[in-house]
Chain A
Amino acid sequence: MKLSGFYLPAFVSLTLVLILSQPITSFSQTNEKFTVNGTITDASNGESLIGATVFIKSLGTGTSSNLYGFYALTLEAGSYELEFRYISYESKTVTINLQADQTLDLELSPVAQNLEEVVITETAIDENISNIEIGVNKLDINRIRKMPALFGEVDVIKSIQLLPGVTSVGEGASGFNVRGGNVGQNLVLLDEAPVYNSSHLFGFLSVFNPDAVKDVKLYKGGIPARYGGRLSSILDVRMKEGNNKELDVNGGVGLIFSRLAIEAPIVKDKASFIIAGRRSYGDLFAKAFTDVLDDGAALNFWDITMKANYNLNAKNRLFVSGYLGRDKFLFDANQGFSWGSRTTTARWNHIFNKRTFANFTFVFSDYDYSIKFGEDNVNRFDWNSKIRTLDLKPEFTFFANPNNELNFGGEALLYNFEPARAIGVSNGEITNISLEDKRGLETALYLENDQKVNSNLTLRYGARFSHFSYLGPGNYFEFTDSEPGDRRDVISVTRANNWESIASYHNLEPRFSLRMKTGPNSSMKASYNRMVQYVHLISNTTASNPLDVWTPSTNNLKPEKGDQYALGYFKNFGLGNAFETSAEVYYKSSKDQVDYIDGADLLINEFLEGDLLSGKGRAYGLELFVRKNTGKINGWASYTLARTELRVNGINQNQWYPTRFDQTHNLKLVLFYELDSRLSFSANFAYATGTPTTFPNARFEVQGYVIPYVANEGRNNFRIPDYHRLDLSATWRPKALKKNGEQRKNDSYWVFSIYNLYSRRNAFSIYFSQGTDRIAPGQPVQTEATQLSIIGSFFPSVSYNFKF
């Protein structure tokens, strides 16, 4: 890695030479060049459209709008026909006579619902084969809304679990696993703010309010250089900007919670806002029936998501967005636990010149939880833990020419970890059992070029240079080298001063993707990326839980590092490319993944690092995907064949073992059927191989306790039964006209859904225990295996949704 100091400048110069050489050579032969640029928005509400394409018919090439709807094309002077396209929107063709730089902002109208099946775009939508992205899935929020869901509430995290390569350890588990990565190896971004725990109700729902979400993109591979900091994936959730044309009120009443979202222009076409909130009411129901909750008990969650934007002028646009939410499980006013996240994002889009787009983002994000026990002040336990991040990100896009788009920028993330602010009061004596905060600074610079080499070959190459410092003030430790798998003891304690760097790491993370068109409707793609993760989610339980702590890389805990190679073939079939298909294979290897000694003490432990192990990981798989986007019947099927393993000294006799979320086969079917403009149906089917778990071989008795024994220290040596489930839902809209013939003012619809239609008791886990009955001394103890299903039967729900 010492060489990285050399590689980076060399790489930068090489890229610049490549890019700069092109305009010069072409300039020498041809006319003067001009730029057309602008923003593509939704005609109905002013939302900018991400990834809309701009196609120059005569050249057979084009570009697409960035995350803020901005595009730019630099072309020789002349007349061009530009076609603007976006899926489920009506395409628009504009003829321009380019004799000077010009701005062309464009609005596209959504395809009217009942027209959907007859619209066939003049040029086929072939985004999936023409773009360079591999291992990327995009979900449209309107599509997510139509899927059947648990409690009848659509959910971003649950929806992405229906995509290839994405799995979960089971129902009720928070987070998701991507291509063999653990939950803490996903970077979950809400308007660029990292979300450290994305779950409500443990993991049954996620923090993303669908009313406020515009676009969800999951990067499983081919990760662009602008993203970094996690090993497995990036889930980039973008919030709506708010309708800048008219007032829009959305809401819904469901079984678990109600929600309301208001969006409106502040200054028409210039500034708008959205505010969306949700509140669960299980406990409000309960309060009507019982007084047990009167002493402060609570079982609820709520969240508020907000965003405002202001178009200062053609060159400057400001955004502010935020999320605030909390879950509470309180047994009474003094006891229980709660957790929640807060994020704030401030952004400034600035167009420096016709070809340079910049975005400056400042983010604040924190996640905290608290546990309180003890009915009085004489005996009490009170514990708060938190992770807080400040993040500054300048990002630039330079539209060098139609064939080169250069992205570069940087990031500085300051972390503050508060593992424990805790006091214990025993019989009136107060003890402060707090741990010191930890601090870390992660910085990165990146540079990446998207280059269209010719009409068939596109390359994206770049790198991210990342650096992490574990900073004082604080004590840092040196540990013994003990037998792998045993607790390591502290040898020495050293005090670091404020801002003193205790340990630092740097890495060069190369990123590369290639797309080669292999026919009019097909392409081949390949990618390689290296990812480095400097902060770690410490969790040794089956499912990640709200009390898991994040901890930085230290002098004893190295950053996790992973490489991924992927190859894909993309082909479209049918009229207007009705069917999109893809096949991708990937291979990942990683090192310094975190694992835990048996009996690890992960909470409020000053010497946590002594209980951590590190190991290697490998994962490989095949992902097949077919999607039909149009027609009365549409949907997708995805199949994944995969393997995910770890090898950790001190576990499983140092041999490879499958991870807890390894699933050999994983099949998902999602179907939508639109009967007419008022009634539509959808169905999900999921099948997955049972996940591995550890079964004992024998039992033995010490001091009357019957203890399980696993031969050869085996880890994950068995699998729980296979998982499968079918869900159905129907969306029904009342007539648009009232009985008296008047048009209804509001648009409303009902969603009826049944989760787990055939009531399968899917196993979440199998555990081994002795019976709960008291055993008389000398009597043999009975042991048994119990299979736990989180959702044990079908689960019907209904929700009412309105918009006016």
Chain B
Amino acid sequence: MKAQRIYFLVILLILSACEDVINPKLDSIAPVVVVDAWLTDLPEPQTITLSQSQDYFDNGPLEFVEGATVSLVRNGSTEMTFAEGDPGRYVWNPAAGETLGNVGDAYELRVTIGTETYTSQSVMNRVPQIDSIAFRFEEENLVFPDSFFGEVFARDFVGSGDTYWIKAYKNGVYLNQPDEINIAYDAGFSAGGNVDGLVFIRPIRDGINPIDQDENDEFISPYSPGDSVLVEIHSITNDAFDYLNEVRIQIDRQGGFGELFATPVANVPTNIVPTNNQNQVVLGFFCTSAVASMGKRFED
């Protein structure tokens, strides 16, 4: 590691960037309703959260929207009601053997808050099965010490335009860092990438690794013997892919020299539409996913 330090020192000599946390004064705005509705076909309670935006530097708990009416209509006929449990959490509990629906189903979300009703559409797209999960060893390099990396193998369907969100859980903990948002357009990164029908490309297969540092800011091996990993592939709509892509651009700010090549802060899109007052601002996203999953324990 010493050798690497020297190398980085040389780079730092050239790029002696430094960062300071600051507290600029930002203009406050009236809170905006946020609809967080990402539903799956897993046989478990499905939750839609209604909350409010808060000041950017308000690090307090979320303010929820209570007393709303929330329902979901499948294929224009079957209506499912989401009942408020905890404040702002609207839950649909499937009966035994029941799920949200099947691949190909179309959904409309209806949320009524006060006098305004918001709607949104989604479909449940196909999802490929996970072939396998493997762990591999890599020797120390510029960034990592001797490390074990997990890798998930799955093949995109033939036919372009399939979009997926690959979520990973290490020892039951969801990898929720901004740089861990792992999405795929077919087997690659984007629509223009033209990689249809392949096994996911390496960076996506490797996107299930937590990149953490220890207290000395040294990178640590993502996995160690005894760890377990659970991987879920969620089929998502193309709009949801664009949404997550923009979320990643907006929130995955690594800082440092990379900021030279950052794009400006901009609002991510929403697919929630107010039906009465078209000028009513609303945020959030609605997406329905079919899920394929696989877990694996890293045996020594």
Task: Give the B-binding residues of A (Cβ under 8 A).
Answer: 170, 172-173, 201-204, 256, 282-283, 285-286, 289-293, 297, 299, 331-332, 373-374, 379, 381, 424, 426-427, 429, 431, 433, 487, 540-543, 545, 598-599, 601, 604-608, 660, 693-711, 713, 715-716, 718, 761, 764-770, 772, 774-775, 777, 780-793, 795
- Give 14 CB contacts A-B under 8 Å: A286-B6, A424-B193, A545-B261, A598-B268, A693-B264, A699-B53, A699-B54, A699-B55, A767-B259, A768-B253, A770-B178, A784-B57, A786-B21, A787-B20
Contact of A788 with B194 in the complex, beta carbons under 8 Å: no
Residues of A within 8 A of B3 (CB): 289-292
A285–B202 CB distance below 8 A: no
Identify 8 new A-B residue pairs, CB closer than 8 A, beyond the known A697-B55, A788-B18.
Answer: A426-B202, A427-B202, A542-B261, A599-B246, A695-B24, A697-B29, A710-B265, A786-B21
Query: In residues 41-57 of chain B, which contact A (Cβ within 8 Å)?
Result: 51-57
Contact A706/B251 with A286-B10, A541-B260, A788-B256 known, Cβ cut-off 8 Å: yes
Q: Are B195 and A431 in contact (CB under 8 A)?
A: yes
- Whether the pair B245, A767 counts as a contact (CB closer than 8 A) is no
Cβ B265 vs Cβ A695 within 8 A: yes
Contact digits for B168-208, partner A, Cβ 8 Å, 1 yes 0 no: 00000110111001000001101111110011111100000
9-residue interface stretch from B32-40, B104-112, B118-126, B290-298: B32-40
Q: Is the CB of A767 within 8 A of B253?
A: yes
Residue of B nearest to A710 (CB): B267
Query: A785 with B21: in contact, given A702-B284, A770-B251 (CB under 8 Å)?
Result: yes
Q: Is the CB of B247 within 8 A of A543?
A: no
What's the Cα separation between A242 and B294 when bound, in Å? 70
The residue of chain B having its C-beta at the shortest distance from the C-beta of A611 within the complex is B192
Q: Are A426 and B201 in contact (CB under 8 A)?
A: yes
Residue total for B at the interface (Cβ-Cβ under 8 A): 88
B195 and A426 contacting across the interface, CB-CB below 8 Å: yes
Out of A286, A332, A381, A705, name the residue touching B176 (CB < 8 Å). Answer: A705
Determine whether B14 belongs to the interface, using a CB cutoff of 8 Å to chain A: yes
Contact B199 A427 (CB under 8 A): yes
A126–B18 alpha-carbon span in the complex (Å): 47
> Would you call B18 and A761 a contact (CB within 8 A)?
yes
Determine if B247 and A707 form an interchain contact, defined as CB atoms under 8 angstroms apart. Answer: yes
In the bound complex, how far is the Cα of B268 from the Cα of A382, in angstroms? 31
Is B193 in contact with A433, judged by CB distance below 8 angstroms? yes
State which residues 225-250 of B face A: CB under 8 Å: 242, 245-247, 249-250
Check if B145 is an interface residue, CB within 8 A of chain A. Answer: no
| A700-B22 in contact (CB<8A) | no
Taking a contact as CB atoms under 8 Å apart, the answer to whether B24 and A718 are in contact is yes
Give the residue of A282, A299, A433, A765 whose beta carbon is less than 8 angstroms from that of B262: A765
Q: A331-B142, A607-B192, A780-B62 are in contact. Are A786 and B264 (CB under 8 A)?
A: no
A736 CA to B195 CA, complexed, in Å: 68
Q: Which residues of B contact A543 (CB under 8 A)?
A: 260-261
Choose from A331, A718, A786 the contact partner of B255 (Cβ within 8 Å).
A786
What's the nearest-Cβ distance from chain A to residue B14, in Å? 6
Name the residue among A711, A765, A791, A793 with the largest chain B CB count within 10 angstroms. Answer: A711
> Does A424 lie within 8 Å of B264, measured CB to CB?
no
For the complex, give the distance between the alpha carbons of A429 and B202 in Å: 11
Inter-chain CA distance A314–B178, complex, in Å, is 69
Chain B residues closer than 8 Å to A707, beta-carbon distance: 247, 250-251, 268
CB pair A789–B18 under 8 Å, yes or no, is yes
A542-B260, A767-B255 known; A789 vs B17 contact (CB < 8 Å): yes
Among B17, B21, B176, B284, point to the contact of A792 (Cβ < 8 A).
B17
Contact for A696 among B11, B21, B26, B256, CB less than 8 A: B26
Taking the nearest CB of chain A, how far is it from the CB of B118, in angstroms?
Answer: 14
How far is it, in angstroms, between the C-alpha of A292 and the C-alpha of B143 when the chains are bound? Answer: 11
Q: What's the nearest-Cβ distance from chain A to residue B99, in Å?
A: 20
Q: Are A542 and B23 in contact (CB under 8 A)?
A: no
Q: How far is the CB of A475 from chain B (nearest CB, A)?
A: 13
Residues of B within 8 A of A172 (CB): 15, 257, 260
Bound Cα distance from A361 to B260, whole angstroms: 37
- Residue with the highest number of chain A CB atoms closer than 10 Å, among B21, B55, B187, B265: B265
Q: Given A426-B198, A697-B27, A770-B251 in contact, is the A715-B192 Cβ separation under 8 Å? A: no
Chain A residues, Cβ within 8 Å of B59: 780-783
Q: Which residue of B lies closest to A290 (CB)?
A: B3
Q: Which of B26, B28, B34, B199 contacts A700 (CB 8 A)?
A: B34
Measured CB to CB, the nearest residue on chain B to A775 is B176
A788's partner among B19, B61, B202 (CB-CB below 8 A) is B19
The answer to whether B60 has its CB under 8 Å from any CB of chain A is yes
Residue of A nearest to B155 (CB): A427
Does B153 sit within 8 A of A, measured CB to CB?
A: yes
CA distance A605 to B245 in the complex (A): 15
B16–A791 contact, CB under 8 A? yes
Q: Does B95 contact A (CB under 8 A)?
A: no
List chain B residues, Cβ under 8 A from A431.
194-195, 198
A698 lies within 8 A of B56 (CB): yes
CB distance from A405 to the nearest CB of B (A): 45
| Residues in chain A near residue B174, CB distance under 8 A | 704, 777
Q: A697-B26, A785-B21 are in contact. Are A598 and B193 (CB under 8 A)?
A: no
B263 located at the interface, meaning its Cβ lies under 8 Å from any Cβ of chain A in the complex: yes
- Is the beta-carbon distance between B6 and A379 smaller than 8 angstroms? no
In whole angstroms, what is the CA distance A308 to B257 when docked?
Answer: 40
* B96 at interface by CB-CB < 8 Å: no
Closest to B16 in A: A792
In the complex, whether B137 has a CB less than 8 A from a CB of chain A is: no
Bound Cα distance A786, B253 (Å): 10
**Bound Cα distance from A455 to B247, whole angstroms:** 65
Residue pair B56, A541 in contact (C-beta under 8 Å): no
In whole Å, how far is A363's beta carbon from the nearest beta carbon of chain B? 30
By beta carbon, the residue of chain B nearest A778 is: B61
Query: How long is the Cα–Cα vector from A781 to B62 in the complex, in angstroms?
Result: 10
Which residues of the other chain, A, contact B52 by a CB distance below 8 angstroms? 700
- CB pair B51–A700 under 8 Å, yes or no, is yes
**Chain B, residue nearest A604 (CB):** B192
B277 contacts A by Cβ under 8 Å? no
B7 close to chain A: CB less than 8 A: yes
Docked complex Cα distance between A424 and B262 (Å): 25
Question: A431-B195, A599-B242 are contacts. A695–B26 as well, Cβ < 8 Å?
Answer: yes
B40-84 vs A, Cβ < 8 Å mask (1 yes, 0 no): 000000000001111111111110000000000000000000000
- Check B201 against A768 for contact (C-beta < 8 Å): no
- Closest Cβ–Cβ distance, residue A560 to chain B (whole Å): 20
Q: Which of B7, B245, B251, B255 contacts A292 (CB 8 A)?
A: B7
Q: How far is the CA of A287 from the CA of B268 in the complex (A)?
A: 45
Cβ distance B110 to chain A, nearest Cβ, rounded Å? 19
Q: Which residues of B contact A660 (CB under 8 A)?
A: 264
Q: Given A256-B14, A768-B56, do A424 and B188 touch, yes or no (CB 8 Å)?
A: yes
User: Would you give the shortest CB distance from A727 to chain B, in whole angstroms?
Assistant: 15
Contact yes or no, B191 A780, CB < 8 A? no
By the criterion CB–CB under 8 Å, are B195 and A768 in contact? no
B280 contacts the other chain (CB 8 A): no
Smallest distance from the beta carbon of A649 to chain B beta carbons, Å? 15
Give the chain A neighbours of B176 by CB distance below 8 A: 704-705, 774-775, 777
Expressed in whole angstroms, the minimum distance between the Cβ of A368 and any Cβ of chain B is 19
B285 within 8 A of A: yes
Contact check, A701 vs B34: say whether CB atoms are below 8 A apart: yes
Return B52 CB to nearest CB of chain A, in Å: 8
**Once the chains bind, are A426 and B249 in contact (CB under 8 Å)?**
no
* A701 lies within 8 A of B259 (CB): no
B250 to chain A, nearest CB (A): 6
CA–CA, A786 and B7, complex, Å: 26
- With A700-B284, A710-B266 given, is the CB distance from A290 to B27 under 8 Å? no
**B4 contacts partner chain A, Cβ-Cβ < 8 Å:** yes
B24 lies within 8 A of A290 (CB): no
Shortest beta-carbon distance, A697 to chain B, in Å? 5
Complex formed: what's the CA distance from A407 to B7 in Å? 55
For the complex of A and B, list the 7 residue pairs with the smallest distance between their C-beta atoms, beginning with the closest.
A792-B18, A290-B3, A605-B192, A379-B202, A769-B253, A700-B53, A599-B246
Q: Is the CB of B19 within 8 A of A786?
A: yes
